[in-house]
């Protein structure tokens, strides 16, 4: 598995996401994903499936130290003491003594960023998390988190797919030495139907989904989260590192971005998003 390096973290460039996956699906598909070769698993307190994720990792037969495990703290638990308690709860559910990456899930919290980042540093210093990061932050919030943190902020997990230009956030990440972790890569089902992505895929003997995951991971310091509840698609999602997109193909995919391409924008949680030039 190719890894992305950021401030000492080595994060597998392809992850398995569990958003909106009920326990039964997690217990069925995640052990298969790990046995196939996935080594990066993403969950969150708010997904309500951490217990299933922990059990699935145990059932997979893959050693815990071979799995890069990410979870996230919800916005109502960013305050002093609350963040630490949230992490303890996550560790119990995940059946582990540490997570590899802990993220602040959204910036829309009454707790100031500096206070939340202080909590991230405390649990890292206690050995309960190896690396810390943020999710759904705009570039100014990324900079604020970095300035407030003693430890490196290693990633910002954001919506990113061919229809959303994330250049400002990518540029900020490169400047700050951070990675970007892309979620919603399939753009809520638009990707598999896209004529351009299918045409590029046909040239490489790949699907539109594989092309998109490769487009993401072929970019500097970008990690892609894939997700499926269908066993037959696991292999498809995993087999993306045996081909390379040309510069023209990469540019053509970037050209699909639209001004209204954003899908995830929850009121009260989302920041003022950066706009591409």
Sequence length of the chain is 277
Strand partners, 132: 102, 153
Q: What are the CB-based long-range contacts (under 8 Å, 24+) for 138-142?
A: 138/107, 138/168, 138/169, 138/271, 138/272, 138/273, 138/274, 139/168, 139/169, 139/171, 139/172, 139/274, 141/107, 141/113, 141/271, 142/169, 142/172, 142/173, 142/176, 142/178
Q: Is 7 annotated as contributing to ligand binding?
A: no
User: How far apart (Å, rounded) are the C-alpha atoms in residues 68 and 99?
Assistant: 8
Establish whether 183 is a catalytic residue: no
Residue indicated by tokens 């705009």: 138
Query: Is-contact 277 167, C-beta < 8 A?
Result: yes
277: CB partners within 8 A, 6+ apart: 167
- Considering the candidates 47, 163, 183, 184, report the single residue annotated as catalytic: 47
DSSP state of 60: H
Residue 133 three-state SS: strand
User: How far apart (Å, rounded) are the C-alpha atoms in residues 159 and 144?
Assistant: 20
Question: Where is the binding site, in residues?
Answer: 105
Active site residues: 47
List, as residue ranges, the binding site for substrate. Answer: 105
């Amino acid at each position: 598995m190719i890894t992305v390096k950021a401030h000492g973290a080595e994060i597998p460039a392809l992850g398995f996401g569990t958003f909106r996956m009920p326990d039964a699906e997690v217990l069925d598909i995640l052990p298969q994903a790990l046995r196939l070769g996935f080594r990066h698993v993403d969950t969150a307190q708010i997904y309500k499936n951490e217990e299933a994720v922990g059990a699935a990792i145990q059932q997979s037969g893959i050693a815990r130290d071979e799995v890069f495990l990410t979870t996230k703290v919800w916005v109502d638990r960013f305050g002093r003491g609350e963040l630490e308690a949230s992490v303890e709860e996550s560790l119990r559910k995940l059946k582990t003594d540490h997570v590899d990456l802990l993220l602040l899930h959204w910036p829309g919290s009454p707790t100031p960023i500096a206070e939340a980042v202080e909590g991230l540093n405390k649990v890292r210093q206690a050995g309960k998390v190896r690396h810390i990061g943020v999710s759904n932050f705009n570039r100014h919030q990324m900079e604020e988190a970095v300035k407030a943190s003693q430890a490196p902020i290693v990633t910002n997990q954001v919506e990113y797919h061919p229809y959303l230009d994330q250049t400002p956030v990518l540029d900020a990440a490169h400047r700050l030495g951070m990675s970007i972790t892309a979620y919603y890569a399939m753009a809520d089902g638009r990707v598999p139907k896209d004529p351009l992505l299918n045409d590029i895929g046909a040239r490489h003997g790949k699907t539109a989904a594989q092309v998109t995951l490769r487009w993401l991971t072929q970019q500097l310091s970008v990690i892609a989260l894939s997700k499926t509840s269908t066993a037959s698609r696991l292999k498809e999602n995993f087999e993306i590192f045996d081909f390379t997109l040309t510069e023209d193909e990469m540019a053509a995919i970037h050209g699909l971005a639209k001004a209204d391409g954003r899908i995830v924008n929850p009121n009260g949680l989302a920041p003022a998003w950066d706009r591409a030039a």
